Structure 1
Amino acid sequence: MPLADLASYDITPERGFLCGYDASTVTLDGAFAEARAIALRLPEILPTGKVREVLEGSLPAITPAMIAALDEPAARMAMVHYSFLVQSYIWGAAEAVTTLPAILAVPMAALAGRLDQQPLLQYSGYVLDNWGLIDPAAPVHLDNIYMIQKFAAGTDEAWFVLIHVAIEAQAGSALALFAPIIAAAEAGDVETARNLLERMVGIWAGINAIFDRMPEQCDPYIYFRRVRPYIHGWKDNPALGDGVVYEGVERLGGHPQAYRGQTGSQSSIVPSMDALLGVRHAADPLKAYLDELHIYRPTGHRRFIEDVRTASILRDFVSRTGHKGLTDAYNGAVKAVADFRGRHLEYAASYINKQGSKAAGNNPDIGTGGTPFMKYLKKHRDETAAMLLPA
């Protein structure tokens, strides 16, 4: 089954899974503009410790009907701002709270329903839709992008997010090769498949080079204490018990809701590569967690992963041909993804696991998604490396 055009999945070769529009030019009017102005002041409000009082006393009432009237870019931009407001309300003071007031819960739930996402901060709101271009005529590159909505406004926070933005953009040219690679495998075209995979390995060298730059302007100590506390979710976090009650959202019945926190594992890049390369993970709690994260991705990106998984016969094709050059190229792609996962593991160790503090809700042994991440990341890396084919 051939893949649809990238655009139908909300993907572009130039930007990958990043939003295809210029988020910094999206206008929000009326009550949405008021809420946005407050959200953009979070770096000033959060240090006071009074963020909950400010939000409860200042935010305008926004109804589901008002959200239904927004166009797609405006809804996504509003989702960015409200996601940050929600996280700030829950985590922005000395003690976390387990009830989200209706002034935040109602618009957050309505935006999530409109976009078929979950009502808290996700990778899409933290990274994919939360950046702008300094020079609109220049490409998406680390020297030409900025973070729109922030919690603390420090260089470390922005650099952490912008490294991810740059990686997503770099991945776009790799995603553009998926359909031709699948077509070459279906046609039994060894040389075309080999050449395309070699090109993909080169692109992944660039992705890993960007990832290597994380320590340049994001310090582990600052990240752990000034960035990470705000991006936790409500699931498997002892500080929140059974989760968060969304006041005023009738369909939730007043029951606590437990959602996974924002995590780079919600990015669609690596799952897409797994699908293309035929990388499989053992049926265990790690796989169950990865499967659960799928609903936290934008709808089009979910469809892309699912369609690639259905369409790709690449691994079987490479195995069947036994062609050394093709096998080497395939293994190069597998190794590039394993290397990326290895870098992720190294950063998880230095930025989180070695930081020592066990402040409420910010445990260095538990990921923002609510898992024992070091164990999971090691297993994930090793499973990927184990997929190398004999040359």
Structure 2
Amino acid sequence: MKLADYGLNRDRGFLSSFNPPEVTLPHFLQPVRDMALALPRILPTGRVRAHLESLPTLDLSDFIKTSNDAERRIAMLHYSFMVQAYVWGEPEAPKALPACLAVPIWQLGEAISQPPLLPYSSYTLENWGRFDPDGPIDLSNIYTLQHFDGGLDEAWFILVHVAIEARAGELLDEATQLIDHLQEGDAARIEASLKAMSATWDDVNAIFDRMPDQCDPYVYFHRVRPWIHGWKNNPALGDGLVYDGVIETGGAPQAFRGQTGSQSSIVPAMDALLGVGHAADPLRTFLDELHAYRPPTHRRFIEDLRAKSSLRQFVEGASNKALTELYNESVMKLARFRTRHLEYAASYINKQSKGGAGNDPDVGTGGTPFMKY
């Protein structure tokens, strides 16, 4: 396996292989981009729907045929933020998305093989830039392109995830090398890769620990989280949302899960490498469902890693104490990352007071009873 075969590399991991600020869109999409980037100015008016309804209903068929993946994904970035703002930007959730948003995002979703609402890839993986284009992708050198209300807490929440994804690129690269080492039965190189992964996990977990530095739990719950909910299992939207003008739906409400860190491909990729299984319970069903929300190349990487990795079996059969300890260390550091996520879910969400429409502290942005999980 080679990262390049999946559009990935060691320095970026699952982040976009292109530099998002450098992607230009056709002239006819400029009003769309301008409207999306103006959301921090529009949202305080309380009339965001009136503004968004002024957009033209564009047929993006020709654009999709002639554009590259980067252009389609940046168009999806802007449309998906506007879709979320339309749904959650006023006190009562609407029954339908207007055609000016519904038609283009449906077309873009089909083009990139992801659901037509804000996915983790748009919220994080393609929503960053560097102040110094030649500098590192870390918290000292990155910024967000697209915002909802534009506050510091919102930007920090996104950027911590960007920095984690970049640092995790080394985990992915070592994972692909491990597949080769396993095929060769090279215990020394397997040990070296596991050592490198252990050190990288320390860095990843240290970045995650910085979330409270500039993202306050109260502000997150009331000013960041409301925008990223979906319309599946959301009490405010019942059966879902009608996508006006989208012929394929037959006018029926559509239910899609909201943006969640569980759509990141890091943890499932590591599960696949390490041979970590999950019990057949509702959480596993939810995690399996989220697989379709990832970019297609990320899905393929996880699936190929799972099919090719014999790491657990190799370690079990090697009778090598050092190798066993390193394998267990990787599992424990992955578990620490998961545990930290649960701790944040408790402090940033579950312990907060009741939110507005659709912002239930007992329901995750993906529409799950996450504390039970």
TM-score by length of 1: 0.94
1:177 aligns with 2:174: yes
Kept after mapping to 2: 8 A contact 1:116/1:299: yes
2:296 to 299, 309, 323: 299
Alpha-carbon distance in 2 for matches of 1:160, 1:72: 26
Provide Cα deviations, 1:18-72, integer angstroms capped at 9, x if missing partner. Answer: 0011101111122211100000000111111101011112446343333332222
- One-letter code of the match for 2:199? G
* Structure 2 counterpart of 1:150, from 147, 151, 155: 147
Partner residue of 2:217 out of 216, 220, 228: 220
CA contact (8 A) 1:79 1:111 kept: yes
Which of 111, 117, 126 is equivalent to 1:129? 126
Structure 1 position 358, deviation (Å): 4.2
> C-alpha displacement at 1:8, in angstroms?
1.8
| Residues 1:316 and 2:313 aligned together | yes
Contact 2:57 2:104 in 1 (8 A): no
Write out aligned runs for 1:238-317 (5 A): 238-317=235-314
Q: How many residues align?
A: 373
1:136-159 deviations in Å (ceiling 9; x for gaps): 011111110000000010000000
Match of 1:208 in 2: 205
**Pairing 1:345–2:342 present:** yes
Contact kept? 2:57, 2:101, Cα under 8 Å: no
CA distance in 2, matches of 1:61, 1:9: 31
Q: Does 1:195 align with 2:195?
A: no
- Aligned residues with identical type, % of pairs: 57
Instruction: Report what 1:385 is aligned to.
Output: none
1:74-123 alpha-carbon deviations (Å, 9 max, x no partner): 11100000000000111110111120011100100000011011100000
- Alignment-mate amino acid for residue 146 of structure 1: Y
Whole-Å separation in 2 of the counterparts to 1:360 and 1:223: 16
* Alignment counterpart, residue 21 of structure 1, candidates 13, 18, 21: 18
1:112 aligns with 2:121: no
**Which residue number corresponds to residue 369 of structure 1?**
366
Structure-2 separation of matches of 1:304 and 1:63: 29
Distance 2:331 2:63 in 1: 46
Aligned to 2:97: 100
Q: Counterpart amino acid of 2:161?
A: H
Distance 1:51 1:224 in 2: 20
Aligned partner of 2:165 among 165, 168, 186: 168
Q: Secondary structure at the match of 1:359?
A: coil
Assess if the C-alpha contact under 8 Å between 1:38 and 1:59 holds in 2: no
Q: Normalising by structure 2, report the TM-score.
A: 0.98
Q: Which residue of 1 aligns with 2:28?
A: 31
- Given the alignment of the two structures, is residue 64 of structure 1 paired with residue 61 of structure 2, yes or no? yes
Contact 1:67/1:107 (<8 A) preserved: no
Other-structure match for 2:80: 83
SS of structure 2 residue aligned to 1:242: coil
Q: Matches of 1:94 and 1:359 in 2, distance apart?
A: 7
User: Matched residues in 2 for 1:355 and 1:232: separation?
Assistant: 16
Deviation at 1:188, TM superposition (A): 2.3
Aligned-CA RMSD value: 1.0
Distance (whole Å) between structure 2 residues aligned to residue 180 and residue 8 of structure 1: 13
CA displacement at 1:173 relative to structure 2: 1.0
**Residues 142-192 of structure 1 deviation map (CA, whole Å, 9 limit, x = unaligned):** 110000000010000000000000000000011111122122223222221
Alpha-carbon distance in structure 1 between the residues aligned to 2:56 and 2:226: 23
Check the 8 A contact 2:275/2:306 in 1, yes or no: yes
Secondary structure of residue in 2 paired with 1:238: coil
Greater Cα shift, 207-216 or 350-359: 350-359
1:230 aligns with 2:236: no
Is the Cα–Cα contact under 8 Å of residues 170 and 203 in structure 1 kept in the other structure?
yes
What is the letter of the counterpart of residue 117 of structure 1? Q
Q: Is the 8 A contact 1:31 1:60 kept in 2?
A: no
Instruction: Output the CA distance in 2 between the equivalents of 1:59 and 1:324.
Output: 65
Distance 1:197 1:375 in 2: 32
For 1:32 and 1:127, the matched residues in 2 are separated by: 22
Aligned to 1:51: 48
Q: Deviations over 1:357-383 (max 9, x none)?
A: 14320001110000011222xxxxxxx
Match of 1:386 in 2: none
Aligned to 2:323: 326
